[in-house]
A and B are shown apart, each in its own frame.
Chain A
Amino acid sequence: MVFSSLLFLILFLPVVLILYYLSPRRIKNLMLFLASLVFYAWGEPIYIALMLFSTLTDYLFGLLLDRKGMSGKGRKAVLIASVIVNLGVLGFFKYADFLIANVNAVLGTAIPPTDLPLPIGISFYTFQSMSYIIDVYRRDSKAQRNWIDFATFVSLFPQLVAGPIVRYNTIAEQLKDRRVDAHMFAEGVRRFCIGLAKKVLLANNIGLLWNEVSAADSLSGLPVLTAWLGIIAFAFQIYYDFSGYSDMAIGLGLMFGFRFNENFNKPYTAISMTDFWRRWHISLGTWFREYVYIPLGGNRKGMTNQLRNILIVWLLTGIWHGASWNFLLWGLYFGVILIAEKLFLLRLLARLPRWMSHLYAVLLILIGWVLFAFENIGDVAAYISAMFGGNGIWFDRHSIYLLYTNAILLLLLVMGSLEWRGLIRSVQARLNGGIQNRSVADDITGSDGTRKAVNGKPASVVLPLLGLGWHAVLLLMSVAYLVDATFNPFLYFRF
């Protein structure tokens, strides 16, 4: 099931919420686990066995790791066994056919491909499950004795199919004991509405523009303007799709009492590639840093080793995104840029005006998306050539048509990518100050401390009320687009 479906919205979500809040505390996790199984089985009835298998083996490995009298060697053996099982399953389902195709191509053999569909969310839940084993191995967390609690962690439906990748140690406490108050639930509703609107109103619609451009008869006739419009559309589609999904996941988590870490932080405001990767898919970057980069020695064993480690992490990041050469190339591309930044570029960028370093970052990000979007390397080259005038056409009627029919949407997409929190805070502060002169009829008790002005007067509710209207409109508009949806693909299912 996906969040951006009407069945999820009006049937699954309200029913699960009601059942969850009616359940006594000790079976709330069981309730969530069962709901997650239904959620998963809805789209993948067969692979549910695979997910339960992963869950069960890692649960048992965890118990073994925590057994009294286990030697260091024994613990290491358990860790290695778990990693082999996890990566073995992931490798078989995600990379076997890629490997077979390449072996066949190089050796001229004819090994038949497995042709198995990729189990939904396998890249995400495998990484979550591995984080648990590694945390327990390092004694950052205690092993989970309760299988239901552990299975709830792995299969939790808000982040099951597209992240954020939740590390076990960030959520272990909440699995045992969590409380939801009205403020937390309302925050969840806000996040969910924002995420749904990002996905349904923005990502799906700009995706149509990318589809139109990339479906051109031949890339060798693409004018410069069309090529840029296309890749900008792709960049926005993938950002709003993925971050929208993360927002919905975080929002749903809040409704059930979980606080997941943020996954995006306005990535397109980045001023370097290093900055971009601190803002984009943060949970994946953190995972690789915690469980690959630092164990490899990170930056503590000399420059050569550090550069090697960066390269390893980025090749892995690339191939994590999909079993295809272009993803590996995409990872390598960022690895090389990040090394260059580490060596000298960052110092150079620091001396430039901010808009220039921003331009630098955006350009490199967009070229990165070309690598990401086309599986065929020849197409990548043709597209980049088109962007830089290789076809000798600046624009044609079609480019103008695509530009003006998407101009308003593009403007909204740009606005949505910028940072507004500072502005909102200062407007709120000004409104709070101005309210002194007005009579505040209702509510002088102000028992809710979260929005209280410094001078002790209750905070202005003008902005929160505007926000309320805004979120309601977004939700209703999203439903309208979903009802009419003939185009509602879900991009991150490939991962």
Chain B
Amino acid sequence: MSSKWIDRIYIGGFLSLLIGLLLFFIFEPKTIFSELENRKLQENPEFSWSRIWSQQYAKDAELYVTDHFPFRAEFIATKSLLEQARLQKENNGIFLGEDGYLFEKFGKPDLDELGSYVDAINKFAANHPETRLSFLLAPNSVGMYPERLPWMAEAYSQRELNKWIGGRLDGGLTFLDGFAFLDHGDTESKQDDRQLYYRTDHHWTTFGAYLAYRAYSESLGWEPLAEEDFHIRTVSDSFLGSYHTKGQYGGLRPDTIEVYEPKNPVASEMHIVDTDETSDSLYDDSYLSKKDKYSYFQGGVHALVTVTNEIASEDADLEKLLIVKDSYAHSMLPFLTNHVRDIHMIDIRYYNGNIGDYMEENGIQDALFLFNTSTFVQERNLLKLKY
């Protein structure tokens, strides 16, 4: 073999690789939705001179090629592997932690901004003195398990931050710091291997939500159901959640999703006001076969949901409750159906009405604000609360 042959291989190899990829790209059937990344892929951009002029066509076309590139999943996995081989411990803002845990980076928040969110809650409590208000602030996995971060990696302490928030709250509401009951839950049960958080997702597990439910019930003087009062069933053991989607790490152990089914079931009717859909189940099984499995709980995020539970009046702890929340509430809501007859659940990110008016119109006297620390510190929509 001479160097002449090697030159020919270079030329043939280079051209056939590029042209081969091009042919694959052209003839490969296109998918609309990427399960791996949990997002809609770019569609074939429509041609028009105005779109050329505004450069929108160019941007969309670049995205279209990247999104539908031949062997996309394999290339992404290769990159992830190479990044790990070079000892890189983060990708797209997601840490590759110990014990298979992924964590989202959490830096020092803007305390002035955060203070204004806390003040919004204070103001809401002051404007509604007749309302019995609880504020449950759950840490994220990065706050709970800082020792599982990669070696020498740092995150701003959510433990300190939650304390700071608690200290800034006025009286007139009950503050439940997630660290108080989650710490406790882990040690009291003497089962350190029980997961409070998903390893690959930003939510807490159903067990974490159960501990929150127990703490909330006790704070109101209700008697929470014990774990023995439930059939605990695994509904999925192949859950790779949002941290996996963002970080794109390969070779991770999938998470398990559990559901707690009360041995004395309560019939519930869920009404999704956004779409005017009604269901007799709090769960949507169809999501278990998709990437976004956490949406199994109530079918994901909705601006306003009401849940009516068939509990005899004399057995109910409460007639009406309003929950203002982020998605951490989704796995906790089913527990509350054992105590409250009417639950109204508002996602403040998508609901644009006035919360105070809503409570008045529906005769609600009890409210639970439930947020995780990470969304709370950056949730500008909380400022809507003031009124």
Closest B residue, CB atoms, query A41:
B52
Asked if A481 is an interface residue, CB under 8 A from chain B, the answer is: yes
| Min C-beta distance of B96 to chain A, whole Å | 10
> In the bound complex, do residue B1 and residue A11 qualify as a contact, i.e. CB atoms below 8 Å apart?
no
Asked if B17 is an interface residue, CB under 8 A from chain A, the answer is: yes
Closest B residue, CB atoms, query A401:
B152
Contacts of A46 in B (CB 8 A): 53
Stretch of A57-65, A231-239, A296-304, A460-468 contacting B (4+ beta carbons < 8 Å): A460-468
Closest B residue, CB atoms, query A397:
B152
> In the bound complex, do residue A408 and residue B87 qualify as a contact, i.e. CB atoms below 8 Å apart?
yes
Give Cα distance in the complex from A17 to B65, angstroms: 19
Asked if B27 is an interface residue, CB under 8 A from chain A, the answer is: no
Closest A residue, CB atoms, query B82:
A477
> In the bound complex, do residue A405 and residue B248 qualify as a contact, i.e. CB atoms below 8 Å apart?
no
Asked if A458 is an interface residue, CB under 8 A from chain B, the answer is: yes
> In the bound complex, do residue B65 and residue A484 qualify as a contact, i.e. CB atoms below 8 Å apart?
no
* Residue of A189, A217, A445 most packed against chain B (CB within 10 A): A189
| Min C-beta distance of A185 to chain B, whole Å | 5
Interface residues of B in 64-122 (CB under 8 A from A): 65-66, 69, 72, 75-76, 78-80, 82, 85-90, 92, 108
Asked if A450 is an interface residue, CB under 8 A from chain B, the answer is: yes
Interface residues of B in 1-17 (CB under 8 A from A): 1-11, 13-15, 17
> In the bound complex, do residue A405 and residue B79 qualify as a contact, i.e. CB atoms below 8 Å apart?
no
Our count of residue pairs bridging A and B at CB distance below 8 angstroms stands at: 140
Asked if B151 is an interface residue, CB under 8 A from chain A, the answer is: yes
Interface residues of A in 450-495 (CB under 8 A from B): 450-451, 458-459, 461, 464-465, 468, 471-472, 475-477, 479-486
Q: CB < 8 Å: which of A7, A43, A404 contacts B151?
A: A404
| Min C-beta distance of B161 to chain A, whole Å | 16
> In the bound complex, do residue B61 and residue A7 qualify as a contact, i.e. CB atoms below 8 Å apart?
yes
Contact A14:B18 (CB < 8 A) given known A471-B10, A481-B79, A484-B248: yes
Give Cα distance in the complex from A45 to B51, angstroms: 11
> In the bound complex, do residue A186 and residue B152 qualify as a contact, i.e. CB atoms below 8 Å apart?
no
Asked if B22 is an interface residue, CB under 8 A from chain A, the answer is: yes
Contacts of B66 in A (CB 8 A): 6, 482-483, 485
Q: CB < 8 Å: which of B2, B53, B79 contacts A458?
A: B2
Contacts of B79 in A (CB 8 A): 477, 480-481, 483-484
Closest B residue, CB atoms, query A409:
B86
> In the bound complex, do residue B4 and residue A447 qualify as a contact, i.e. CB atoms below 8 Å apart?
yes
Contacts of A415 in B (CB 8 A): none
Contacts of A485 in B (CB 8 A): 66
Contacts of B152 in A (CB 8 A): 397-398, 400-401, 404
Give Cα distance in the complex from A408 to B21, angstroms: 31
Asked if A190 is an interface residue, CB under 8 A from chain B, the answer is: yes
Closest A residue, CB atoms, query B52:
A45
Give Cα distance in the complex from A43 to B62, angstroms: 11
Q: CB < 8 Å: which of B7, B13, B22, B55 contacts A11?
A: B22
Asked if A448 is an interface residue, CB under 8 A from chain B, the answer is: yes
> In the bound complex, do residue A451 and residue B3 qualify as a contact, i.e. CB atoms below 8 Å apart?
yes
Contacts of A448 in B (CB 8 A): 2-4
Contacts of B61 in A (CB 8 A): 7
| Min C-beta distance of A166 to chain B, whole Å | 24
Q: CB < 8 Å: which of B10, B18, B76, B92 contacts A483?
A: B76
Residue count of chain A within 8 Å CB distance of chain B: 60
Interface residues of B in 248-285 (CB under 8 A from A): 248
Interface residues of B in 225-240 (CB under 8 A from A): none
Give Cα distance in the complex from A9 to B17, angstroms: 10
| Min C-beta distance of B284 to chain A, whole Å | 30
> In the bound complex, do residue A10 and residue B154 qualify as a contact, i.e. CB atoms below 8 Å apart?
no
> In the bound complex, do residue A472 and residue B13 qualify as a contact, i.e. CB atoms below 8 Å apart?
yes
Asked if B220 is an interface residue, CB under 8 A from chain A, the answer is: no
Asked if B25 is an interface residue, CB under 8 A from chain A, the answer is: yes
Give Cα distance in the complex from A422 to B75, angstroms: 35
> In the bound complex, do residue A217 and residue B108 qualify as a contact, i.e. CB atoms below 8 Å apart?
yes
Residue count of chain B within 8 Å CB distance of chain A: 50
Contacts of B55 in A (CB 8 A): 43, 45
Q: CB < 8 Å: which of B11, B52, B86 contacts A182?
A: B11
> In the bound complex, do residue A6 and residue B69 qualify as a contact, i.e. CB atoms below 8 Å apart?
yes
Contacts of A49 in B (CB 8 A): none
> In the bound complex, do residue A186 and residue B69 qualify as a contact, i.e. CB atoms below 8 Å apart?
no
Give Cα distance in the complex from A128 to B292, angstroms: 54
Give Cα distance in the complex from A483 to B41, angstroms: 13
> In the bound complex, do residue B87 and residue A182 qualify as a contact, i.e. CB atoms below 8 Å apart?
no
> In the bound complex, do residue A407 and residue B78 qualify as a contact, i.e. CB atoms below 8 Å apart?
no
Asked if B19 is an interface residue, CB under 8 A from chain A, the answer is: yes
> In the bound complex, do residue B88 and residue A405 qualify as a contact, i.e. CB atoms below 8 Å apart?
yes
Give Cα distance in the complex from A190 to B13, angstroms: 11
> In the bound complex, do residue B10 and residue A479 qualify as a contact, i.e. CB atoms below 8 Å apart?
no
Interface residues of B in 102-158 (CB under 8 A from A): 108, 150-154
Give Cα distance in the complex from A451 to B6, angstroms: 11
Asked if A424 is an interface residue, CB under 8 A from chain B, the answer is: no
Contacts of B248 in A (CB 8 A): 484
> In the bound complex, do residue B18 and residue A190 qualify as a contact, i.e. CB atoms below 8 Å apart?
no
Asked if A261 is an interface residue, CB under 8 A from chain B, the answer is: no
Closest A residue, CB atoms, query B80:
A484
| Min C-beta distance of B10 to chain A, whole Å | 4
| Min C-beta distance of B152 to chain A, whole Å | 4
**Binary contact track A159-202/B, C-beta < 8 Å → 1, others 0:** 00000000000000000000000110110011001000000000
> In the bound complex, do residue A450 and residue B3 qualify as a contact, i.e. CB atoms below 8 Å apart?
yes
> In the bound complex, do residue A13 and residue B18 qualify as a contact, i.e. CB atoms below 8 Å apart?
yes
Q: CB < 8 Å: which of B2, B14, B76, B87 contacts A480?
A: B76
| Min C-beta distance of B112 to chain A, whole Å | 14
Give Cα distance in the complex from A81 to B92, angstroms: 52
Closest A residue, CB atoms, query B108:
A217
**Binary contact track B37-58/A, C-beta < 8 Å → 1, others 0:** 0000000000000001101001
Contact A461:B3 (CB < 8 A) given known A190-B10, A483-B69, A483-B79: yes
| Min C-beta distance of A385 to chain B, whole Å | 22
Closest A residue, CB atoms, query B10:
A186
Closest B residue, CB atoms, query A477:
B82
Give Cα distance in the complex from A186 to B79, angstroms: 27
Give Cα distance in the complex from A142 to B61, angstroms: 42
> In the bound complex, do residue B1 and residue A442 qualify as a contact, i.e. CB atoms below 8 Å apart?
yes
Contacts of B76 in A (CB 8 A): 480, 483-484
Closest A residue, CB atoms, query B22:
A10
A-B contact pairs, 18 of them (CB 8 A): A6-B66, A14-B15, A45-B55, A46-B53, A186-B7, A186-B10, A189-B10, A401-B152, A442-B1, A443-B5, A450-B3, A451-B2, A468-B6, A472-B13, A481-B82, A482-B66, A483-B76, A484-B79
Apart from A468-B9, A480-B76, A480-B78, what are 7 other A-B pairs with CB-CB below 8 Å? A9-B18, A45-B52, A398-B154, A401-B151, A405-B88, A407-B87, A461-B2
When A and B form their complex, which 4 residue pairs have the shortest distance between CB atoms, in order from nearest?
Answer: A186-B7, A186-B10, A401-B152, A483-B75
